[in-house]
Amino acid sequence: MAEDAGNAMSKARWNIASTSTALVDTAEVLFARHGFEGVSLRSIYNAAGVSNKSAVSYHFGSKDDLVMAIWKQRLPELERRRKILFEEARAAGRLDDPVTLMTLLFQPFCDLTDSEGRHTYAGFFRHALRSPKVWSQRMAIMDPSETGGEVLARLERQLHVPRYELFLRLRLLSCAFCDLLVERDDDIVEGRPVKTDDDFLRDAIDMVVGGCSFQRKADVRP
């Protein structure tokens, strides 16, 4: 009897954990497609095929809870990937190259895909960048990661752009980068021609570097 009860409890915990994962993944997909205002908690439950909503209600009582869960799942994944790229760049002696540093920041968005190969996190992220509420939730979870902070400090020195201005430009250009990545996914699905992965990343990084390194001309007085 005790063993049966223990097995039942273990199965219940596994089911809740499995359902929670499905909800987070489904929420990311729907937020990526429709934005945050266009998705209800009920639509997330339905899309995830969750019938027993009370079983996971203590995990996700609101959309905000799901958004936080996405951040907590994805940010460490991005940091691990950036750290690997950072160490590779250090070993190659390329940490003084702005293109390499920007690649460290943005390539992980290209590397992170869902089971269908689509960049759903990039889609989620571009909406987050445009939502002050959602972006503030991200900043409340963690400051720029150790690797990200080191990259930003190096970019600030190399591009000779004040930190506030650099952050503003990066936020705007991150929107553009993720827009391009998601649009490329759509082009692939529709059978339209696209650049190779390497060419896409190279051209997109060149765009970001150019936008961040832009120097305003001094005012010319007659």
Domains in the chain: boundaries: 2-213
2-213: CATH number: 1.10.357.10
Distance (Å, rounded) from C-alpha 20 to C-alpha 24? 6
pTM: 0.85
Q: What is the pLDDT of residues 117-145, one digit of tens each?
A: 999 999 999 999 999 889 888 877 766 67
* Residue 90 main-chain phi, psi, to 5 deg: -65, -45
Q: What is the pLDDT of residues 83-109, one digit of tens each?
A: 999 999 999 999 999 999 999 999 999
The pLDDT assigned to 215 comes to 82
| Residue ranges in 35-162 assigned as alpha helix (H) | 41-48, 63-91, 98-111, 120-129, 132-141, 146-159
